[in-house]
Amino acid sequence: MNLLFDVSPDEPTRKRGGQKRIGAPQAVPEIETEKKPFFIGELPARPILPIGMIDHTYDCADAACNTQCHDILHEDGGEWYVSCAFCHTGQWVKAIKGHLKPRDQEFVLRDGRFAGLTLPEVERQPRGRDYIKWAAESHPRPAVKEACKKHLDAADATQ
């Protein structure tokens, strides 16, 4: 009943008819019940390999552990980031000159799947050896291609 306008009961009213469907019925898309989280640039976790070890020099930052065995994980600006070998508590300490052997300048990949890794580190990754073989054959940059060839030749000579 419409109270805004008076309508007599004998006036014709407009009936709404059903709409005619043309063609076959359309399929209803399935709704995913559970979505996996997506992270841009999701990469597998890589282990942080120590660059050296130092014992009997620094106390562990955790008072409950209090050991003096540390792995040197990073060197920056005359300081080391060391991690306790037992409880893995990390701390920044002053670096000791001459303790670490100078490393040869190794080739570091600057882009792609293995960006920031040296070729020996790439080889330890899953499918890393396959990547080095591919890069030695068909990488677009000549420097990467040459470094991968040298790495494979050195690895084949030691076996």
Q: Judge if 90 and 123 occupy the same domain.
A: no
CA 74 to centroid of chain Cα atoms: 19
Choosing from 94, 128, 146, the residue where a domain stops is 94
Query: Structure pTM?
Result: 0.47
Total domain count, the chain: 2
In a domain, 42, yes or no: no
Encode pLDDT of 112-133 as tens digits: 888 888 888 888 888 889 999 9
- Whether 154 has a pLDDT exceeding 70, the answer reads yes
Residues in contact with 61: Cβ distance below 8 Å, sequence separation at least 6, in sequence order: 84, 89, 90, 91
Q: Enumerate the H helices of the chain as residue ranges.
A: 119-124, 128-138, 142-158
In a domain, 16, yes or no: no
What is the number of residues in the chain? 159
Q: Average per-residue pLDDT in the chain?
A: 82
In a domain, 27, yes or no: no
Encode pLDDT of 14-67 as tens digits: 666 666 666 666 666 677 677 676 666 666 666 777 888 999 999 999 989 989
In a domain, 38, yes or no: no
In a domain, 151, yes or no: yes
In a domain, 126, yes or no: yes
In a domain, 78, yes or no: yes
In a domain, 60, yes or no: yes
- 146: domain range? 119-158
CA distance 144 to 56: 41
